[in-house]
Each structure stands twice: as C-alpha cells, then as structure tokens.
C-alpha cells in the first residue's frame, strides 16, 4: 500500500485526492451580487445532500465571487454541463473581476428564472433554481477554521428540457454530463455500456 498522511504530503507525482473521489458532477453555478452583477463559475466539489426538501451544495476553496454573491442575495442556480457545453464551462472558470459577466465571456444566453432573480444558462438541458440554506466555513479536525466555504441551497424550481425525458423518465445519457476527474484537465463522460442496475436489499 502507498500510505500517506495528507498533512505531510502525498509522495506521488500528482495529488491523488481528487482523482480518487471521482468522477464528480460539475456544479455550474450562476449567481448575482447585490449590485446586480451576474456571475457563472464551475465547482466540482459539488453534490446533492437531501431529498425532501431537495438540497444541493458545493465547496469553494477560498471566498470566491460565487460565495460572496450568494451570501449577499441568498440565491443561485445550478446549470447542468452537457458535453456540448464543456468548453464554455471551462471558459467560465477564468479568474476575472467580479464585474465581469462570464455568460458574455463564454457566449452563453441568460434566461430569467421563475422563482429567483438569478438568471440561468439557457443552453443547459437541466437547471435547478436554489435559495441559500447555509454557508458553512469548513474547519479541520483540530477545530481550526479553513479558508473554504460550503454553500448549501434548497432547490425551489427545476427545469428539464423535454428532449431529456423519455417515457416519463429523465434520460441522463441523453443529457450527456461532463464529469470531473483528477489531474489538471481530466474529465469523463457516460455511456450505456458502463451502466448496471442493482436494487437495494429489502429490509
Ligand atoms: C471543472 C472545474 C471545477 C472546479 N471546481 C472548483 C471547486 O470545486 N472549488 C473551487 O473553489 N474552485 C473550483 N474551480 C475553479 C473555479 O471555477 C474558479 O476559481 C472560478 O474563477 C471561480 O469563480 P468565481 O470567483 O466567479 O466564483 C473549478 C474549475 C473547473 C474548470
């Protein structure tokens, strides 16, 4: 076994952490500051955390614009990243001034949301409109605060493009998600041959 304590380094060519906990869905988050500046950025420390009410969240390493905006306005949208949107998603990760609108930077269309004032990506096949429930600053096991912030939000409205619904079931393969792996620029896609079904044991 290659065993290491993260506090003392991993001893490999590349840090394996983000390659092991992978692939991860991408939280492509649109938000808006109190002055109305719109922002869009990808976060792969992203997942779903509850069914009822549905809660999703992401973690920002540093107090980035997205966190600051959601702290100010209490709203954000999650935009699904399809393969066809991968390059544009990547463009929106550029470190730019908070006044810079990443929708314009990447040539994406802003679509008004139904329940919140933050627009979403019209080109995305699935969008979840969210209201902030918590922003948690992370801390170490020793109780020291870490400069990372976990943002959680309740999903108040979901939009799914009709083309992604087959016989009443959401077709994830059709939506063609981009998934983040490790390394500097590794990603995965999904394919039918990699899918299998396993039903939970009855209690
Ligand atoms: C695929 C991808 C995933 C990313 N995931 C994260 C993440 O989980 N946490 C983070 O802090 N930054 C992440 N980043 C970097 C941010 O997108 C980048 O710092 C961005 O400029 C933040 O924008 P903002 O300041 O407008 O919020 C990721 C970038 C890419 C391309």
Q: CATH number of the domain that 98 lies in?
A: 2.30.110.10
Residue 110 maps to a domain: yes
Q: Give yes or no for residue 71 having a pLDDT over 90.
A: yes
Q: Is 70 in the pocket of ligand 1 (CB under 6 A)?
A: no
Residue 21 maps to a domain: no
What is the C-alpha to C-alpha distance for residues 67 and 64, in angstroms, rounded to an integer? 6
Query: What is each CA distance from 145 to 62, 63, 138, 141, in whole angstroms?
Result: 12, 13, 6, 10
Residue 48 maps to a domain: yes
Query: Among 29, 39, 41, which is best to mutate for testing ligand 1, by the most ligand atoms less than 8 A from CB?
Result: 41
Q: Is 90 in the pocket of ligand 1 (CB under 6 A)?
A: yes
pLDDT at 183: 87
Q: Which residues share a beta bridge with 187?
A: 180
3-class SS string, the chain: CCCCCHHHCCCCCCCCHHHHCCCEECEEEEEECCCCCEEEEEECCEEEEECCCCEEEEEEECCCHHHHHHHHHCEEEEECCEHHHHHHHHHCCCCCCCCCCHHHHHCCCEECCCCCCCCEECCCCEEEEEEEEEEEEEECCCCCEEEEEEEEEEEEEEEECHHHEECCEECHHHHCECEECCCCCCEECCCHHHCCCCCCCCC
Among protein residues, the one whose CA lies closest to atom 9 of ligand 1: 60
Residue 14 maps to a domain: no
When divided into structural domains, the chain yields a total of 1
pTM of model > 0.85 = yes
| Strand bridging mode 169-170 / 120-121 | unpaired
Domain interval for residue 132:
27-190
**CA dihedral in degrees (52, 47, 160, 128; nearest 10)?**
70
Residue 197 maps to a domain: no
In the structure, what pLDDT confidence band is assigned to residue 203 with cuts at 50, 70 and 90? confident
Residue 112 maps to a domain: yes
Distance 42 CA to ligand 1 centre (A): 5
Among protein residues, the one whose CA lies closest to atom 16 of ligand 1: 93
For residue range 115-173, list pLDDT tens digits in order. 999 999 999 999 999 999 999 999 999 999 999 999 999 999 999 999 999 999 999 99
For residue 19, with 0-12 CB atoms within 10 Å meaning exposed, 13-18 middle and 19 or more buried, which class applies?
middle
Residue 61 maps to a domain: yes
Among residues 155, 169, 146, which one has the least CA distance to residue 127? 155
Nearest atom (ligand 1) to Cα of 64:
25
Q: Is 188 in the pocket of ligand 1 (CB under 6 A)?
A: no
Token couple for 126: 């699935």
Distance 124 CA to ligand 1 centre (A): 18
Residue 4 maps to a domain: no
């Amino acid at each position: 076994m290659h065993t290491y304590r993260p506090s003392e380094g991993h001893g490999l060519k590349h840090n394996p952490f983000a390659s092991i906990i992978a692939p991860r869905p991408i939280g492509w988050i649109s938000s808006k500051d109190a002055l109305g500046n719109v922002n869009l950025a990808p976060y792969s420390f992203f997942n779903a955390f509850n069914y009822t009410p549905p809660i999703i969240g992401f973690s920002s390493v540093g107090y980035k614009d997205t966190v600051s905006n959601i702290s100010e306005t209490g709203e954000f949208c999650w935009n699904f990243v399809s393969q066809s949107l991968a390059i544009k998603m990547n463009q929106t990760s550029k470190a730019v001034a908070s006044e810079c609108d990443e929708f314009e930077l990447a040539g994406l269309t802003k679509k008004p949301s139904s329940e919140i004032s933050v627009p979403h990506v019209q080109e995305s096949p699935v969008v979840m409109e969210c209201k902030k429930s918590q922003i948690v600053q992370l801390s170490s096991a020793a109780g020291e605060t870490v400069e990372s912030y976990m943002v959680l939000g309740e999903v108040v409205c979901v939009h799914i493009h009709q083309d992604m619904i087959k016989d009443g079931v959401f077709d994830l393969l059709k939506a063609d998600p981009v998934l983040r792996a490790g390394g500097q620029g590794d990603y995965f896609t999904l394919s039918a041959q990699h899918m299998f079904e396993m039903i939970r044991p009855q209690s």
